[in-house]
Amino acid sequence: MSEAELHVLQARLLGGQLNKARRGELWMSAPIGFLWDRAKRLVLDPDVQIQASVRLLFETFRRTGSATQVVRHFAREGLLWPRRLRSGPRAGDVVWGTLEHSRVLQILHNPRYAGAFVYGRTRQRTVALGGQAGYRRVPRAQWKVFLPNAHPGYLSWEEYEANQATLLANAAGYNAERGRSPAREGMALLQGIAICGRCGGRMTVRYALRRGHPVPDYLCQRRGIERAQSPCQVILGTGLDEAITDIVLEALTPAALDVALEVFNELRARKAEVDRLRRAQMERAREEAELAQRQFMLVRPEHRLVADSLERTWNEKLAELAQAEEDYRRATQEDKPEPSVEERERIYALVTDLPRMWHDPHTSMRERKRMLRLLIEDVTLLRSHVLQIQIRWKGGATTSLERPLPLSAPDLKRTPAAIVETIRGLAAHKTDRQIAETLNARSLRSGTGQPFTRLRVRTVREAYGIPSLAQHLRDAGWLTPAEIAPILRVHYTTAKRFAREGVLRALRADDKGSLLFEPPRDALPRAHPGKRFRDRRQCPQCASHVSQELQYEA
């Protein structure tokens, strides 16, 4: 019966606690930024600096969309965060220190900052190992008590829910409910919003260096990793991000983006708020120094031990005041001055011209991705004979388009087909070195972006089966010096001299200077001792390779 009475008493106590919570009268410790008044009502903290710090936290998160960025903003600006002591001899006092990431998450997840009273957000369960008690959060539908607008808050309930959605999207761990990952600094524009068109899974990003620049590749490899198989599909990011960018900019170009004045006002208000908090920190340090001074001046002279302690405290407060003033002066000097007229015009042009702002080098990839996610929900990719792209816009509208498949790694280095055909046409009457000089004169480059050389032209010819000039001439029946010498009944060196002097038509068929003779059709030349070669000249001289080619083309 005693055990039963204990369970009944516990149930009655819990029932009374729940009934008090349903009326919104259950007392809980006030989070930072709130205080309990004499009527046991939760009100905003009358300390203006504390209120400004809490409002700056929510404003920075709304602007950046990241709890880590909030911490970095406070650290970068040298701003401190208040914390109220719960126990000890100084219970109830407010101390100022560095803002931590866990504190930011705790505040963002707390619905009391939205003016709502909630009870039963967590459930307790006993762990089998060790018998320890664990807590887990439950969905909003399972909360025992939810009373909106129960007291003043720092933001509306709609803003609180938007913050929770942002935090859920920013979750770094694997979550089945998370449809995309947060925007990061990488070059992949569709990072986190690319969907596989075959299995419906979210695609990841892999970067590769091509020609010294990072290029993203989109992979669907989740199921492949789980089943030890190859990726579902791999799509090269070359050209894909540019296509999405063109579509987004084309959709937004007709809309007027005349918000430059609002941007200036927001920047000015943000700077003023930061300066106000810095000044408040300095004023608080001055008040503490003045309080220590008054305490020291009121002590009796005969209480030397107390006077020494108060004097030491006063000196410490004066040192803190000097440090606070120096920090404020340094931070004020490091702040950027107001933009000039030229900078205002430039910013106005960037805001009113979205394409220019998008392509501006000062715009980070994180900001581009955040702008893109304001318009696009996700992008589904399917690779077949073409790349099928389906864009799902905010609101449910869709846009479908097709693009040719991005070039593979070998195709990126392959010589363009137009240049190959040009080499094919020039090979009929030029050597490899002459072809390289002609291509370079036309400002043509190889597939790797390099100027042509004799060896590169030869490599292209052999890869595509293009005959050389010597092969063309041999197919046409042209003869070597050793073959034409018996026909002329002379030594082959005499045949070479006939070519140099223009007695016979010959060409240098390669870059080594090898001679090929045109088959003789008229009377064969004979040796005429005493007769000069210039009197017997019938063809252009083949004294040099370049001059012969010029004469032959003429």
pLDDT by position in tens, the chain (length 554)? 778 888 788 888 878 888 887 887 787 888 999 998 887 888 898 888 899 999 999 999 988 888 888 998 898 888 899 998 888 888 888 888 999 999 999 999 999 999 999 888 887 765 555 556 677 788 888 888 888 888 899 999 999 998 988 888 776 544 444 455 667 778 888 888 888 888 888 888 888 877 677 888 888 887 777 667 788 888 888 788 888 888 887 776 544 344 444 555 666 677 777 777 778 888 888 888 888 888 887 877 777 777 778 888 888 888 888 888 888 777 776 665 555 666 666 655 655 566 777 777 788 888 888 878 877 888 999 988 888 999 888 767 788 888 888 766 677 788 888 999 999 999 988 999 999 999 999 999 988 888 999 999 999 999 999 999 989 988 888 888 888 888 877 888 878 877 777 777 788 888 888 888 888 776 666 656 655 555 555 666 664 444 343 333 33
Question: What is the length of the chain?
Answer: 554
Q: Looking at the structure, do residues 460 and 481 belong to the same domain, yes or no?
A: no
Q: Please tell me the predicted confidence (pLDDT) of residue 286.
A: 85
One-letter identity of residue 138: V
> Is the distance from CB of 270 to CB of 79 less than 8 angstroms?
no
Q: Do the domain assignments include residue 309?
A: yes
Q: Looking at the structure, do residues 478 and 527 belong to the same domain, yes or no?
A: yes
Contacts made by residues 203-207, CB under 8 angstroms, sequence distance 24+: 203/235, 203/381, 205/237
Nearest 5°: the CA angle 449, 455, 457 is: 65
Q: Do the domain assignments include residue 339?
A: yes
Q: Is 410 exposed, middle or buried (0-12, 13-18, 19+ CB in 10 A)?
A: exposed
Interaxial angle between packed helices 417-426 and 432-441, expressed in degrees from 0 to 180 and rounded to the nearest 10: 130
Spatial CB neighbours of 372, under 8 Å, sequence gap ≥ 6: 189, 193, 244, 248
Which of 369, 288, 283 is closest to 324 using CA atoms? 283
The alpha helices in 133-239, defined as continuous H runs, are 157-169, 222-227
Half-sphere exposure of 76 (CA within 13 A, CB side): 8
Domain end position, chosen among 466, 501, 528: 466
CA distances from residue 34 to 55, 115, 152 in whole angstroms, order as listed: 12, 11, 9
Q: Do the domain assignments include residue 547?
A: yes
Tokens representing 505 are 């038509």
Q: Looking at the structure, do residues 312 and 281 belong to the same domain, yes or no?
A: yes
Residue with tokens 């890869």: 463
Q: Do the domain assignments include residue 254?
A: no
Q: Please tell me the predicted confidence (pLDDT) of residue 435.
A: 93
How far apart CA 444 and CA 440 sit, in angstroms, is 6
Tokens representing 162 are 């938007």
Q: Do the domain assignments include residue 450?
A: yes
Q: Do the domain assignments include residue 405?
A: no
Q: Please tell me the predicted confidence (pLDDT) of residue 432.
A: 92
Tokens representing 88 are 């000890």
Q: Looking at the structure, do residues 504 and 523 belong to the same domain, yes or no?
A: yes
Q: Do the domain assignments include residue 332?
A: yes
Which of 60, 347, 68 is closest to 184 using CA atoms? 68
Q: Looking at the structure, do residues 479 and 524 belong to the same domain, yes or no?
A: yes
Domain end position, chosen among 403, 432, 466: 466
Q: Looking at the structure, do residues 429 and 459 belong to the same domain, yes or no?
A: yes
The three-state secondary structure class of 136 is strand
Q: Looking at the structure, do residues 479 and 454 belong to the same domain, yes or no?
A: no
Q: Do the domain assignments include residue 386?
A: no
Q: Please tell me the predicted confidence (pLDDT) of residue 531.
A: 56
Tokens representing 511 are 């870059």
Tokens representing 199 are 């299995």
Q: Which residue range(s) make up the domain with 317?
A: 260-346
Domain end position, chosen among 346, 371, 395: 346
Domain count, the chain: 3
Which run of H or E residues covers position 12? Answer: helix 2-22
